Structure 1
């Protein structure tokens, strides 16, 4: 069974937590990638920024629908979505914009099938590949997965 260490891209374009949102957008556009890992000063992956995150950062915030009962304001739905939208539009740097909740990471020794299943389950285009300390080693993309599945063993 193939593992992803031979398929991953090792020359990764990443952003630092302190990089501004505009700088992140320019880096994403010039790189042609759909997502960029966010790393801290020691090189550990702390989040990921996708094209969707950057688009959301420039959209208008939609207030959630609420009802009022006995002087209480109760959201009908969407409070989590509202707080995520608010977080993104107020972000000034990669740290504030990055998706950190339920961050999916891969390890180089993981099998191709395991990583492919996780990517499709979570509808991801790419995963950062990290070592035991969480330091960025590479990225594995859907294209890398496809190349691994189509190449002879």
Structure 2
């Protein structure tokens, strides 16, 4: 093993641990969060997802609280099961469980752990309402920028 390479690996791991432990989620999240109403039609939801290039969208009630999530697979499943009628169904009819939720002051390490699983994104919540979202892409952008600033 090249000693320089092993030294670099140690530095990289130490910095990664520092970043994950010290950085709070509000530095990584992007906002505003695109949401859909519980009564929104699947047709409009598909348009929102397509227009914004997103693969999941939180579903909120009339007060703005997150009550579920619609993933691409939920839409596909609705079309496979209900055909054209799916277009006229509402968000509440096809949604899945909400994405995991954390506060903006949570440590980045908690988001990293969640996103290592099958979770596609984590919502950042303040007073029960979404103020941001963190995806795997957001993590990659953050870490790339972090290393660029120090490189």
TM-score (norm 2): 0.72
* Greater share of residues in helix: 2
Q: Which has the higher contact order (CA 8 A, sep 6+)?
A: 1
Alignment of 1:135-150 (within 5 A): 135-150=129-144
Q: In the alignment, is the contact (CA less than 8 A) between 2:58 and 2:99 conserved in 1?
A: no
- Per-residue Cα deviation, 1:56-89 (whole angstroms, up to 9, x for no partner): 111148xxxxxxxxxxxxxxxxxxxxxxxxxxx7
Alignment of 1:93-104 (within 5 A): 93-100=90-97, 103-104=99-100
The Cα of 1:103 is off from its aligned counterpart by 4.2
Displaced runs of 4+ in structure 1, greater than 6 A?
Answer: none
Cα RMSD (Å): 2.2
Q: In the alignment, is the contact (CA less than 8 A) between 1:112 and 1:145 conserved in 2?
A: no
Instruction: Please list every run of 5 or more consecutive structure 2 residues that lacks an aligned counterpart in the other structure.
Output: 1-21
- Per-residue Cα deviation, 1:1-60 (whole angstroms, up to 9, x for no partner): 111111111122110101011111111111101111111111111111111111111114
Instruction: Please list every run of 5 or more consecutive structure 1 residues that lacks an aligned counterpart in the other structure.
Output: 62-88
TM-score (norm 1): 0.72
Q: 2:125 aligned with 1:130, yes or no?
A: yes
